Amino acid sequence: MKYDIFLAGPWENFAPAPYKRKIKEAFKDKKIYDPEKECLNFYDDVHAVLRKDWFALNYDALSNSLSMVALVPQFPFPGVGPETGIFYSSHCKKAGEPLEELIIIWPETVKPDYGKRVVRQMGHLVKDTNEAILKLRAILK
């Protein structure tokens, strides 16, 4: 299946702001893949069980999405790292060149700042969801 946007990052209730909801509201006419919705079976607000085929589902969606928005969370080694790498490697035409279609939200509170250098080489680095929405609008015209 083809998607317009792949949303990567922490579950909405663990994020510093409701980034997924804002993006979904801004792009109601677009097909959006949200791993939180597609791969988790919640049994309350905090606890969930991953589907057994979650990695295959995410991999397929990453490979078949036109764009990606990833929110860098405040905890170590989040799934957003590998997801961003998979998206980059499946969409890049020349290694080392930033992807227009890859948008990474890096909140001011996330440290260390030196990690931003790596991210800038992969795609667009933005401070918040509003900036990500503006970039997405330009990409998905």
What integer is the mean pLDDT of 83-95? 94
Question: Higher model confidence: residue 60 or residue 78?
Answer: 60
Q: Cis peptide before 112, with omega less than 30 degrees from 0?
A: yes
Question: What pLDDT digit, counting tens, does each position of 92-135 carry?
Answer: 999 889 999 999 999 988 888 888 888 889 999 999 999 999 99
Question: What pLDDT digit, counting tens, does each position of 1-39 carry?
Answer: 999 999 999 888 888 888 999 999 999 999 999 998 888
pLDDT of residue 131: 97
Domain boundaries of the chain, sorted by first residue: 3-139
pLDDT of residue 63: 96
Query: Considering Cα of 7, then 73, then 10, then 15, what sign does the dihedral take?
Result: negative
CB contact at 8 A, 122 and 98: yes
Q: What is the DSSP letter of 99?
A: P
Question: Higher model confidence: residue 20 or residue 51?
Answer: 20
Q: How is domain 3-139 classified at the architecture level of CATH?
A: 3-Layer(aba) Sandwich (3.40)
pLDDT of residue 86: 95
pLDDT of residue 126: 96
pLDDT of residue 100: 95
Q: Which residue has the tokens 């931003």?
A: 116
Question: Higher model confidence: residue 73 or residue 29?
Answer: 29
Q: Are strands 40-42 and 48-50 parallel, antiparallel or unpaired?
A: antiparallel
Question: Higher model confidence: residue 127 or residue 79?
Answer: 127
Phi, psi torsion values for 41, nearest 5 degrees: -110, 105
pLDDT of residue 95: 87
